[in-house]
Structure 1
């Protein structure tokens, strides 16, 4: 059972600073991943600083699986802003909300959002991977807040 927070999702976010820490990390990691090998290396370094090497490996694999599913089975491209942009694209906000919902156990809302991104038959798989990734990021933020920077 999840606790319903009426403030979540009730207001559009237009700036990265309006997101909570988990959602901001998701957006930043998406931007880094899409920036190519150097961005992926920066993401991996940040995860290693926050989680340690072995858990960073698992977290990176979960993120890669999620992005691969989106790349192979997307309904349409997932748009994002440049890495240093303070603005937030609606696709980024929805993707971050999707991961946050999956990580918090709000499976129905996460599945609904997943079906907007991929075919309905792949939505449970995408949601499971997003939950794994989101929980790992949440763990990083809670257990080691001084080391978990998410590069922001």
Structure 2
């Protein structure tokens, strides 16, 4: 990869701790997946820990299909930061924006965003996959947020 490709896709444009939790989780899953079998195992475990097994396997398969499709059809390598890095690169941000837009139901806009990562021939298909991945991650994080709500905590007593 040339230095110009690295600069173009790896420029820091955000940080993980300033993003919504599900978006940061999506980036971490992408980074882990790109690390290879060990990282993929850890990312898959996140799904298995958060969802019933059949649903987790479907969600994990959807994430893998999306990631593979983008990486296999991209005109240049996807640039990412290290798993432990708090920085978010521009390619990673585009990935999150694609998934967010698609899971918000704006598939035409998501397809346009997908063309920043891949060729236009694949953009609509990628937008549909991104919508599924985003909806699942949002569902996981919404459920986790509800279960950790202070109002639902059994060890909290309200006096007034």
Pick the TM interval, shorter chain: 0.7 to 0.9
Match of 2:88, SS state, is coil
Aligned partner of 2:28 in structure 1 is 28
The whole-number CA distance in structure 2 between the counterparts of 1:77 and 1:94 is 14
The whole-number CA distance in structure 2 between the counterparts of 1:26 and 1:109 is 20
How does the TM-score come out when normalised to structure 1?
A: 0.83
Q: Deviations over 1:88-124 (max 9, x none)?
A: 1111111111111111112232111101111112101
The whole-number CA distance in structure 2 between the counterparts of 1:22 and 1:113 is 19
- Total equivalences in the alignment: 136
What runs of 5+ residues in structure 1 fail to find an aligned partner? 1-11, 148-152
Q: Which runs of 4+ in 1 moved over 6 A?
A: none
Match of 1:82, SS state, is coil
Aligned partner of 2:40 in structure 1 is 40
Structure whose CA Rg is larger: 2
What runs of 5+ residues in structure 2 fail to find an aligned partner? 1-11, 149-160
Aligned partner of 1:130 in structure 2 is 130
Match of 1:71, SS state, is helix
Match of 1:77, SS state, is coil
Query: In the TM superposition, what is the alpha-carbon distance from 1:13 to its structure 2 partner?
Result: 4.2
Decide which structure has greater strand share: 2
Query: In the TM superposition, what is the alpha-carbon distance from 1:14 to its structure 2 partner?
Result: 2.0
Query: In the TM superposition, what is the alpha-carbon distance from 1:138 to its structure 2 partner?
Result: 0.9
The whole-number CA distance in structure 2 between the counterparts of 1:36 and 1:13 is 25
How does the TM-score come out when normalised to structure 2?
A: 0.79
The reply on whether 1:57 has 2:57 as its aligned counterpart is yes
CA RMSD for the aligned pairs?
Answer: 1.6
